[in-house]
Amino acid sequence: MQHSQAKTRKLRVGVIFGGRSGEHEVSIASATSIIEHLDPNKYEVVPIAITQEGRWLLGADPQRLLAAETGQERTALSESLAVALPGDPTVGHLVPLNQPENVGQALEAGRVDVIFPVLHGTYGEDGTLQGLLEMAGVPYVGCGVLGSALGMDKEKMKMVFQALGLPIVDYLVYRRHDWERDPAPIIAAVEARLGYPCFVKPVNLGSSVGVSKAHNRQELEQAITLAAEYDRKIIVERGIDCRELECAVLGNDEPLASVVGEIIPSNEFYDYRAKYIDNRSQIVIPADLPQETAELVRHYAVQAFLALDLSGLARVDFFLEKASGQLYINEVNTMPGFTTISMYPKLWQASGLPYEQLLDRLIELALERHTDQQRNRTRLQL
């Protein structure tokens, strides 16, 4: 892809959404908002849907995809062009899977200058899609392969944080195989080391899908069984009485942190229902914090971003223990929710960067990172 051409025409931005993930519907909501707010004077949007089965469809509208998948508009999928992205950098664009009537027109429709992968969860936010985009030589918004993988895997993420001395809540990790073979020693270890209440999560998932709070042994057994339905690894974390804080990070080699926000969940914790269904959770921006605490959050957010080798964007979530005032890093989200009312864009809005300009900046960072990568030698010069 020749970026010099983009100077004389609009950038073609491929917005990928949907995906094979428990966060499929959340992705569609984020993509709908992004497509609506990309400046039509600067960009030509190329919608790229990934169905729940994993099919790539060119030109599918996000809301029509959702309607088609729920049986309300069955024609939406059939009208879209099935495509694939070859891992061949000499091609560098989406190609039709079947021979269309007008091949030239179909190939032109699949040409993109940069990809905005608005995918949450597995097969989109975990490094798998990023690896394909790297192979294809296509610039893309957000974190690279390693950063995305570390940001998705809560176990490996916490191991990196521990190695650097960043504060985290105590936790244990188990494999689904071990749980199904003999749950008794796992229950005993959790009760001895973490106690109740504790939180149980799939290691590789987001949006609080499959997350439970266990107050006793029965709930713990149910929670681990539920989490094991979503991932082969289950993480159990010590429960603390805390405030939930979030900070947005933006940049590549010199990332910046936003103001700090606070989530006051409508339920006992900020679960999927509290995030996306009840609409009763409160967001406070900026959070009511002492200045030194807010600055520490922002400092840790940037440190976490750099520790995981992230790029483009990430939202870093924190716990502030009420009794002790101790601050803990909970996790990072490398492609956070992106509707206009989502925390990440709201934090930047409060920091002086409006939604539309935030999208501009993310695309700039994607092209900047891609240009820098092109400097790397790929052949040995003797």
Known catalytic residues are 73, 207, 276, 315, 317, 331, 333, 337
- Do residues 243 and 270 touch, judged by C-beta distance below 8 A? no
Which runs of consecutive H residues, i.e. helices, occur in the chain? 24-37, 62-69, 75-78, 103-109, 128-136, 145-152, 154-163, 176-181, 184-193, 217-227, 272-276, 291-307, 343-350, 355-373
Read off φ and ψ for residue 137, nearest 5 degrees. 75, 30
CA dist 10 and 111 (Å) reads 12
CA dist 288 and 260 (Å) reads 9
- Do residues 209 and 230 touch, judged by C-beta distance below 8 A? yes
Nearest-10 Cα torsion for 130, 136, 139, 141:
-20
CA proximity to 267, closest of 277, 281, 287: 281
Angle, nearest 10°, between helix axes 154-163 and 145-152?
100
- What's the token pair of residue 347? 């934090």
Lookup result for tokens 């009312």: 341
